[in-house]
Amino acid sequence: MCQWGTDTVLLVPMSPDESHTGQFRWAWKGVDSCIADIVQALNAAGIYTAQSCCGHGKGDGSIILHDGRELIIRPTK
């Protein structure tokens, strides 16, 4: 897992609830670099992500999807 603040800037989906426009839109946001490829692949496949955190070596990471599901990211040992 990466250190806090080690981000990759990706174009990510913003749901109407998260968007200042009140409409679905895409925005450039920083994503933890060590899971950025996963987040990008999910979004490209139409599985839209809402939030993500790798856990930074202190615990499990997670990717929360727009539909409310949560993917748990467990570090390999």
Convert the pLDDT of each residue in 9-66 to its tens digit: 999 999 888 878 889 999 999 999 999 999 999 999 999 999 999 998 889 999 999 9
Radius of gyration over every alpha carbon of the chain, rounded to an integer in angstroms? 12
Please give the average per-residue pLDDT across 1-13, as a whole number. Answer: 84
Residue 70 structure tokens:
């949560």
Q: For residue 42, what pLDDT is reported? A: 98
- Parse the chain into domains and list their residue ranges: 7-73
> DSSP string covering 25-74, please?
EEEEEEEEGGGHHHHHHHHHTT--EEEEE--TTSS-EEEEETTS-EEEE-
